[in-house]
Amino acid sequence: MKLLRVLAIASIALAVAACAKHEAAPAAVRPVALAQVVAGGAETAVFAGEVRPRYESDLAFRIGGKLVARDVDSGTRVKKGQVLARLDPADVSLQADAATAQVAAAKTEYEFAQAEFQRYQNLLEQKFVSASALDARRNTMTANLAKYEQAKANLAVARNQAAYATLVAPEDGVITAVNAEAGQVVAPGQPVMRHARETEREVAIAVPEARIGELAKARQMLVVLVAEPGKAYRARVREVSAAVDPVTRTFSVRVAVVDPAPALQWGMTANVALMGDAAPGSLRLPATSLYQAADGRPAVWIYDPATGKVALRPVVIAQYREDGVVVASGVAAGEWVVASGANKLHEGQAVRPYEAAGRTTPAAAPRAKS
């Protein structure tokens, strides 16, 4: 009897457990990131580019020789006239000494010829020499004067050559590249380093030939760093290349930053945004909010703060942009749409707005803890 009683109790327990397994679990409320529909989606074109200095030049020695010292590295900020590198001065110093000696010799010969001319001039007045003899002394004095001037010019050149053994900064700026090291023998004009001025900064972009007309139509032009997306700098087109690149079929465009800041470091990636006039009735949404409906048309999940549920609504896309999409109809300004996780929702599903630092949510909606 005891055995039968134990078996009966076990059968009842198994039946209760089986019934419990078939009970439906309550639906989980999914947290989602929301975004508000913004009115006035202005026509915008965005081109990626790189921050460049306007004035950048290669620095080189005017003479050849062995590089004995390099006083700066890449990235060093320099002042006008600061010594950057030096060549071995032995040869140019000897040339300068030789030129100095030639000047002294030429000066001595000229002074002797001048004294001879003056003596013959006095002798001619006393009728002791002929006029032709005086003319010969005059010619000798003139030739020696020319040799003296030539020697002085050669000395000036030799001194310049000696000065050229020292490379100095032409303007205040930054050394952006170094192409030679101490101990290397360089030729005249061989680039040793690259210098860029800090006075102006630009963004170099490539614009397709079919879109070059958008530059003239832009109402405003802004530069935004990828590393600092919250800050925009006013800009203007400074230069457009005269011809299309034969490989990329794009125009090379230089965009000057009107009010540059130290954050605009050379080589950083930046986006140039061309702001046009807003299309009537246009609205802007995040690109991640788009969802493909069953019929293939684009749609978005609309969030109702009163019920905490979502509903799918088709939209008409007016423009795809780098900062989102512009819709012509389907939503109204101020409505809330699901910006992240749209592919995991179903009609009428209850959701909770995800709250995080810097993210706004509907005031009437329940909020999930971040």
Topology (CATH) of 59-86+165-197: OB fold (Dihydrolipoamide Acetyltransferase, E2P) (2.40.50)
HEC per residue, the chain: CHHHHHHHHHHHHHHHHHHHHHCCCCCCCEEEEEEECEECCEEEEEEEEEEEECCEEEEECCCCEEEEEECCCCCCEECCCCEEEEECCHHHHHHHHHHHHHHHHHHHHHHHHHHHHHHHHHHHHCCCCCHHHHHHHHHHHHHHHHHHHHHHHHHHHHHHHHHCCEEECCCCEEEEEECCCCCCEECCCCEEEEEEECCCEEEEEEEEHHHCCHHHHCCEEEEEECCCCCCEEEEEEEEECCCCCCCCCEEEEEEEECCCCCCCCCCCEEEEEEEEEECCCCEEECHHHCEECCCCCEEEEEEECCCCEEEEEECEEEEEECCEEEEEECCCCCCEEEEECHHHCCCCCEEEEECCCCCCCCCCCCCECC
Superfamily of domain 90-163: Helix hairpin bin (1.10.287.470)
Q: Which amino acid is at 316?
A: V
Per-residue pLDDT of the chain (370 residues; tens, 9 = 90+): 555 564 555 555 555 555 544 444 555 677 888 888 877 655 567 889 999 888 889 999 998 889 999 999 988 899 999 999 999 988 888 888 888 899 999 999 999 999 988 998 898 888 888 888 888 989 999 999 999 999 899 888 888 888 888 999 999 989 989 999 988 999 999 999 999 988 788 999 999 988 888 888 788 888 989 888 878 899 999 999 999 999 999 999 999 998 888 788 888 899 998 876 655 557 878 888 888 888 888 898 898 888 888 888 898 887 776 667 888 788 888 888 888 777 778 888 888 887 765 556 676 444 444 4
Q: What are the sequence ranges of the domains in the chain?
A: 30-41+281-353, 45-54+199-278, 59-86+165-197, 90-163
CA separation for the pair 176, 56 (Å, rounded): 9
CB atoms within 10 A of CB 270: 27
CATH of 30-41+281-353, one of 3.30.300.30, 2.40.420.20, 1.20.1600.10, 2.60.20.30: 2.40.420.20
Residue pointed to by tokens 């989980």: 28
| Residue 178 pLDDT | 93
CA separation for the pair 180, 282 (Å, rounded): 57
Determine contact, residues 324/285, Cβ cutoff 8 Å: yes
**Contacts of 262 by beta carbon, 8 Å cutoff, 6+ apart:** none
CA separation for the pair 278, 39 (Å, rounded): 9
- Rounded to 10 deg, the angle between the 90-125 and 131-163 helix axes is 160
Q: Does domain 45-54+199-278 have CATH number 2.40.30.170?
A: yes
Residue 279: phi and psi, rounded to 5, are -75, 140
| Residue 143 pLDDT | 92
Cα dihedral sign, 229-235-237-239: negative
CA separation for the pair 253, 213 (Å, rounded): 12
